[in-house]
Chains A and B, each alone.
Chain A
Amino acid sequence: MEKKLSKYGYLYILPFFVIFIVFSLYPIFHTLYLSFTKYSGFTDPVWVGFDNYLLVLEDKIFWEAFLNTIRIWGVNIVLQIALALVLVMIFSDLKYKVKGLKIFRIIFYLPNLIAATSVALIFLKLLNQDYGVINKFLFDLNLITESIGWLKSSFLAQLSVSNIQTWMWFGNSFILFMAAVHAVNKEVIEASLIDGAGRFKILLHVKLPLIKPILIYVGITGLIGGLQLFDIPLLISEDGLGSPDGALNTVILYLFNHAFRYHNFGYAAAIAYVLFVIIVIISGVFLLTVNRAEIKENLKKKRIRKMGAKLNEH
C-alpha cells in the first residue's frame, strides 16, 4: 500500500531552491554566457564564440599565473598539513596527555577568524623592507647587515604568501585532524603502543591510515581554495597586479583585474571556466590516486559478482 505524501513538503523546501536558482545557478550560467562574449559592462555583450577561450589557452600570463598559484599552494599545503600533524601528534599523545587542548584549539584557529584585509595589512607592516618589524627585529639581533626584501623578489614574495596562508589555515586543519583522531578507537592505538610502536610510527601507520578520509577532504578543499587564492596576493602585492615580477599574480587575481580593472568581463568569465575545468580535472586525478587501492578492490568485487551472475545464468 502506498503512503500518501503531503504536497506541502515541496512548499517548505521551495525557498532554498528559489534562492539557489537565483543566486547560484543563474550566475553560473550567466558567466558561461558571458565567456562567449566581449563585454565591457557599459554596452551590450557582443557574441564572439570561442575567441575568449582560445585567447586564454594562448595567454602566457594566464599560465604563469596558474604556475604561481600552484607554487604558492604547494608550499602552503605541505607546511600546513605537516604543522597540523605535528600538533596532532603532540596533543593526542596518550602518555603525556597535554593539557589545555581547548585553549590551544582556539589560539590556533584565531588567525582564520581575522579578515584577510587585516591579515594583509599586518603582514605588509611586518614584511616591509625599509620600515618593517621583521627586518627591524633581525637588525636588532644583529642577524642581518642588509635589509631583506621579503616582498621584492619573486621567490621570497611567493614564500611569504605561502607562509601567511599556512598561518591562516593550519588551525583549521588541526581541528579537523584532531576530531578525526579522537574518533579513532583508543584500543587500536593502545595495542600498537604495547606492540612497541613509537610515536612517529603510530602516527604514520595507525593514525594516518585511519583518518585518511579527513586527509583527503582537507587535501581537496585545500586544493580548491588554493587555486582560488586571491585576497592576500591582491592586497599584499604592491600594485595589486601581482608584483614583484608578476610572482603574486594568481589565476583569480588575474581574472579579477580583467573584470574590474580592465572591464573585460567576457575574458574574465572564460578564465573562470578554464579554471573550473582545471580544478575538476586535478581533483579527479587526486581522488583517483589516493583512492586507487579502494577502487581496485571495488572493481575486483564487481568483477567477481559479475562472474558469479554469469555462472548462475549457465
Chain B
Amino acid sequence: MKKFLIIFTALAMFLVLTGCKSKAEDKLVIWSFTDELETSGDIQYFKDNFTGEGQKYEGMKVEFVIVPTADYLTKILPVLRTGKGAPDVFTGELDMVQNFMEADYLADLQTMMENDPDLDYQATKDDFQSYIWESGVDPVDNKLKSLSWQVTPGAILFKTDMAESVWGDEIDFPTDDGVNNYNQAVSDWVSANKFNTLQNLVVSSQEVKDYNVNWRLFPNDDAIRFFAKGSDTASSWLDSDGKISSDKLLEQEIYMNTVKSLYGDTISTSLTANVGEWSGEWFGGIGKDFKDVQGTTYQTMAYSLPTWGLFYVIAPNAEKVDANGNTCTLPENPTDEQQAEFDACEVKGNWGMASGPNSYYWGGTYLNIRKDSEMKDAAYDFVSSMLFDTDRMSSRAANGDVYSRISVMNTIKTDYEGYDVLGGMNHYNTFLAESEKISFDNVTKYDRQLDTLFGKYVTAYKKGESGSATVSEAFNSFYDELKTTYSDIYKSSGLPYQN
C-alpha cells in the first residue's frame, strides 16, 4: 500500500509539473485572439486540403487555441520567450506585431515567399494594399515578417433619414429623383459638408441638437477618438530621435478642445448622448431610440465603426420595419408567433456611410510564423492558404471581410449588388477608398499605450478635473505620468506647455 502511494504521489507530481503534456510529433499549433479562423473555416480548409489521405502533410494534427484578447499578450509572451509549447502560427494586431518584430520572434516571411516556386513575389506584393504590406516589414532588416488578409478601415455610419430631417433643406442636399443610389448620394453630401473636419463635427452635433432637443449626432465622444489626428497627413507619436513628438502633441490640442465642446455633465447639457460605448443604450440607438432616467426618448444618428462594425454591430441591430413601414420590435421572451412576425420584417435600409475628417483603421488580424518553429513548411502553407490563395479568398468573401488583396476586391466590388442595411449602397467602394488613404508611416509600437495615457488627460480636461483644468495643466500632468511610464521617450524640455 505504502509503495503504491509513493508511486502514485510521484506520478501525480510528475504530471503536475510537466503539465500533463506530451507533444505529438506532427502537429501544427495555431494561436489567435479571435475565433475568426475557425468561424470562417480557415482551419478546416487547411485540414481538408493539406492533412488528408495522400496530401502533403498526411496525418498531421492541427491544434487551434483561442486566447481572449485581454489575456493574449500575457499568455503568448512567456511561451514565445521560452519556446516551450509555443505556437507555430500566431495572430496579432498591428501594435502587437511591432512588438513581436522588435523582440525578434517572427520568421522571415519574405524569403519563404521568394523561395516558393508557385508564387510571384513582386506581383503578390503589388497586389496587397500598401499599408498592410508596409506594416509587416521589419525596420531592422527590411524583410516582410507579418501580413494580414484583411483591411479594417473605418467610416462614420449614420442614419440617412435623420440626416435628411436635419439638413434636408440645405443647398445641394440630394433628393430621391434621378439619383442612382440615394444613401450613397446622402453619404457623399455629409462627407463633404458635415463630417469633413473636427470643427464641422462639433457644428453638426449642435445642428442635430438644435433640430430636435432629443436627437444627438454621436452616442458619445469616443466616436471621434479616431479623428484625433484630424487629417491623413498627421504626425507620429515619436520623432526621428525616438522621443515624443511636439507636433503630435500640438495636434492633440485641437482634438482636446473638440471633445471639450461636445462634453456636458448630463445628457441635457451634452452635445452627445453620453452613453457608454457597447452599453444597452448605445445599441438601442442603432435600432431606433432609447430612454433616459426621466423617461425621455433619445435618438442618435452616427457611429464610428470599421468594416467588422458594419456586419457584426450595425447590421444585426439595425431597425426593421413591417409592410406598412412601422418599426418591428421583439418583446422579451417572444412567443413563436411573435418571433415569426419579427423575422418577416425587413431591414429599413436607412444607413449610410461617410468619411470622417481622416481615414482610420480599427482592429485587423495579422498572421505570423514563429522564428524557431519546427513546422515552418506547414506553417507557411497555412499562412499561404489565407494570404495568397485568391480563389479561396473570393469564396470566403460572404462573411463580409474586406480583403487586403486588390485584385480580389476589384472582382468582389464589381460583382456586388449592394447591401440592404445601407439601402443598396456598395460599402466596398467606401471602405476601399478609405483604406487607400491609410498610411503606415506614422504607426509606432507605443500608439495604443500613448493613446490610452493621453486619452486619460483628454477626459480629465473635458471634465475640468483638478490638475487638468487648462490645456497647459493637462499636458503637464501627462508629462508627469509619461516620465514614470516611458522614461525612454520622455523629454525634460522643449515640449508644448512644459513647465
Contacts and interface: CB of A to CB of B under 8 A. Distances in A.
Interface of A: 8, 11-12, 14-15, 18-19, 22, 40-43, 55, 59-61, 129-132, 135-136, 139, 146-147, 149, 152, 238-239, 241, 243-246, 258, 260-264, 267
Nearest to A61: B481
Contacts of B456: 239, 241, 243
Contact of B274 (A130, A136, A258, A267): A130
Rank and list the top 5 A-B pairs by shortest CB-CB distance, nearest first: A42-B103, A245-B465, A136-B293, A135-B293, A130-B267
Interface-centre pick from B267, B459, B481, B484 (highest chain A CB count, 10 A): B484
Nearest to A240: B452
A130 B266 contact: yes
10 contacts: A8-B2, A11-B6, A129-B266, A130-B274, A131-B293, A239-B455, A244-B465, A245-B460, A262-B486, A264-B486
Interface in B248-283: 265-267, 274-276, 279-281
A41 B455 contact: no
Nearest to B74: A260
B96 to A, nearest CB: 9
Contacts of B99: 40, 42, 263
Contact of B9 (A11, A22, A139): A11
A277 B281 CA distance: 45
A109 B17 CA distance: 37
Interface size class of B (residues with CB under 8 A): 35 or more
Contacts of B280: 131
A40 B81 CA distance: 12
Contacts of B265: 129, 149, 152
B229 to A, nearest CB: 20
Contacts of B5: 12
A129 B274 CA distance: 9
Interface in B132-150: none
Contacts of A8: 2, 6
A255 to B, nearest CB: 12
A261 B73 CA distance: 10
Given A40-B99, A131-B280, 15 more contacts: A18-B16, A18-B17, A22-B17, A129-B265, A130-B275, A131-B281, A131-B290, A132-B293, A147-B266, A239-B456, A245-B463, A258-B485, A260-B74, A262-B453, A267-B484
Contact of A261 (B2, B449, B460): B449
Given A130-B266, A131-B275, A139-B293, A59 B484 contact: yes
A244 B456 CA distance: 10
Interface string B14-26: 0011000000000
Contacts of A246: 460, 465
B366 to A, nearest CB: 16
Contacts of A14: 9, 13
B292 interface: yes
Contacts of B17: 18, 22
B397 interface: no
Contacts of A11: 6, 9
Nearest to A132: B293
A41 B281 contact: no
Contacts of A22: 17
B449 A43 contact: no
B36 interface: no
B343 interface: no
Contacts of B455: 239
Interface string B275-307: 110011100000000111110000000000000
B12 interface: yes
A251 to B, nearest CB: 14
A14 B17 CA distance: 13
B460 A15 contact: no
Given A129-B266, A139-B294, A245-B465, A42 B484 contact: no
A96 B480 CA distance: 60
A19 B460 contact: no
Interface of B: 2, 5-6, 9, 12-13, 16-17, 73-74, 77, 99-100, 102-103, 265-267, 274-276, 279-281, 290-294, 449, 452-453, 455-456, 459-460, 463, 465-467, 480-481, 484-487
A286 B243 CA distance: 46
A131 B465 contact: no
A135 B12 CA distance: 56
A263 B480 contact: no
Nearest to B99: A42
Nearest to A23: B16
Contacts of B292: 130-131
B434 to A, nearest CB: 27
A239 B293 contact: no
A168 B293 CA distance: 26
Given A8-B6, A15-B9, A18-B13, A245 B485 contact: no
A158 B317 CA distance: 35
Contacts of A61: 480-481, 484
Given A18-B17, A241-B456, A41 B77 contact: yes
Nearest to A241: B456
A107 B100 CA distance: 50
A135 B279 CA distance: 17
Contacts of A263: 73, 99, 449
Contacts of B463: 152, 244-245
Contacts of B6: 8, 11
A238 B484 contact: no
Contacts of A135: 293
B92 to A, nearest CB: 12
A112 to B, nearest CB: 25
A15 to B, nearest CB: 6
A139 to B, nearest CB: 6
Contacts of B453: 262
A11 to B, nearest CB: 6
Nearest to B98: A42
Nearest to B281: A131
A43 B460 CA distance: 33
Contacts of A41: 73, 77
A42 B77 contact: yes
A147 B293 CA distance: 8
A142 to B, nearest CB: 12
Contacts of B267: 130
Nearest to A22: B17
Which of A22, A152, A245 has the most chain B CB atoms closer than 10 A to its own CB? A245
Nearest to A260: B74
Contacts of A55: 484, 487
A8 B484 CA distance: 53
A208 B229 CA distance: 62
Query: By CB atoms of chain A within 10 A, which of B266, B293, B294 has the most?
Result: B293
A146 B449 contact: no
A259 to B, nearest CB: 9
A130 to B, nearest CB: 5
Give the interface centre of A18, A59, A131, A241 by most chain B CB atoms within 10 Å.
A131
A266 to B, nearest CB: 11
